[in-house]
Amino acid sequence: MIDYIIIGAGLAGVVMAERIATQLNKKVLIIEKRNHIGGNCYDFKDENNILIHKYGPHLFHTNNKKVINYLSKFTEWDIYSHEVLASIDGKKVPIPFNINTLYEVFPKSKAKTLEDKLLQTYSYNSKIPILELKKSTDKDLQFLADFVYENIFLNYTAKQWGMKPEDIDCTVTARVPIFVGRDNRYFYDKYQMLPKNGYTKMIENMLNHKNIKIMTNTDFKEICTLKEKEFYFFDSKFEGQIIYTGQIDELFDYKFGNLQYRSAEMKFETIEKEYYQEKATVNYPNDYEFTRITEFKHIHPSNSKKTTILKEYPQEYKKNQNTPYYPVFTKENQNIYNKYLANSRDINNLLLVGRLAEYKYYDMDDIIERTLAVYEKELYV
């Protein structure tokens, strides 16, 4: 007997399963295409005994105490603040671009002029999106905006999205603002930490319940069929709830067209020395075909004499060939998504949740907050 079928064992599916199993005391089956749980948060110890993130660096940060309280039932934490450098003309400087960065890239007097101008215009510790700063009419701020735009955003965004910064949704580049302060951290949230034994371990703990069964290596379409407005589990009509966290266009057999996603090839390398670079991530906006190099030892300390690095090569997503990581926000994609969403509302026992199903650039804390909210609104009675 299964009460709920969850498609996808990433954070959205796992949080739903945990809530349903423990709070509703109902039986859940999770169907997962990959050979592991955890979705893109999946981490494991590699041959160098270093904990690596298979699908790229996942750094947990949030201001949401509810999310922390929830996850703390399943893991202890290590305090960790992520720092990123950007390589500009061979020099590695802190980003988000902040007042310290000014003094690294410009002569002292020029940096001072720009610092004064920033502080006259904006309050200390404010975050200014690059596309906002570009609108400035002040000539010093215009100079600064052009410098940051050209050196940090333009080419990185071309690699990452195949587009210019102004052609993607402005919230994307606003994730990495110009910071009118001296904090070199990549995120400014109150809580910045990592699950002590990794994401996979935390997620295993979330799923460790007698009401939860998991089928990995299984494409849901092998065992579930959507006919008209009804789901079939093998040959029987499924009367329970379906929670779908995968690509929404795939669920509906692409009938309104393919949604666009960005992907990336993740290339790991072992380097025969203790450390490779000075911080966890170094971005290369203007050189190479990869966007950034992450060195996992900075994220999860290890005694290994070697080190593991990851280079991320962005690519267009291609069905069955690579992984869809990011929704691509254009008007056209949003229109296609809206058609799928409207269609999904005709199916009574279907809930959509997660980055792929909702076609939203959710961070990990957003997913947990969102999933808990959907659970409370739709399932908890």
Question: Which of the stretches 118-126, 139-147, 153-161, 350-358 binds ligand UDP when contact is defined by CB under 6 A?
Answer: 153-161
* Cα–Cα distance for residue pair 213/4, rounded to 1 Å: 11
| 84-88/281-283 β-pairing | parallel
Q: Check if the beta carbon of residue 259 is closer than 8 Å to that of residue 333.
A: yes
Q: Which stretch binds ligand UDP (CB under 6 A): 103-111, 118-126, 149-157, 206-214?
A: 149-157
Residue (of 367, 381, 303) closest to 15 by Cα position:
367
CB of residue 214 to ligand UDP, shortest distance in Å: 27
Please, what is the minimum distance in Å from the beta carbon of residue 153 to ligand UDP?
A: 4
Q: Closest approach of Cβ 151 to ligand UDP, in Å? A: 9
Selected binder of ligand UDP within 241, 283, 308, 333 (CB under 6 A): 283
- The CA distance from 255 to 170, in Å, is 29
Task: Verify binding: residue 172, ligand UDP, rule CB under 6 A.
Answer: yes
Nearer to ligand UDP, 328 or 350 (CB): 328
Per CB under 6 A, does 196 bind ligand UDP? Answer: no
Among 4, 156, 296, 329, binds ligand UDP (CB under 6 A): 156
Give the per-residue contact string, 66-105, with ligand UDP (x = CB under 6 A; - = no).
Answer: --------------------x--------x----------
- Residue 19's DSSP bridge partners are none
CB nearer ligand UDP, residue 95 or residue 145? 95
Please select the residue that binds ligand UDP; options are 62, 75, 173, 294, rule is CB under 6 A.
173
240 to 279: interface string for ligand UDP, x by CB under 6 A:
----------------------------------------
The answer to whether residue 180 forms part of the interface with ligand UDP (CB under 6 A) is no
First to last CA, the chain: 21
How many angstroms separate the CA atoms of 9 and 92, rounded?
38
DSSP-H helix ranges across the chain = 11-23, 65-71, 99-105, 108-121, 130-133, 139-148, 155-161, 170-174, 199-207, 220-223, 248-251, 331-344, 355-358, 364-374
Please tell me the distance from the alpha carbon of residue 297 to that of residue 309, in angstroms, as a whole number: 9
Nearest residue to 357 via CA among 278, 248, 269, 257: 248
Report if residue 285 touches ligand UDP, rule: CB under 6 A.
yes
Q: What are phi and psi of 97, to 5 degrees?
A: -55, 125
Asked if 184 is part of the footprint of ligand UDP (rule: CB under 6 A), the reply reads no
Binding positions for ligand UDP, rule: CB under 6 A: 86, 95, 152-153, 156-157, 160-161, 172-173, 175-176, 283, 285
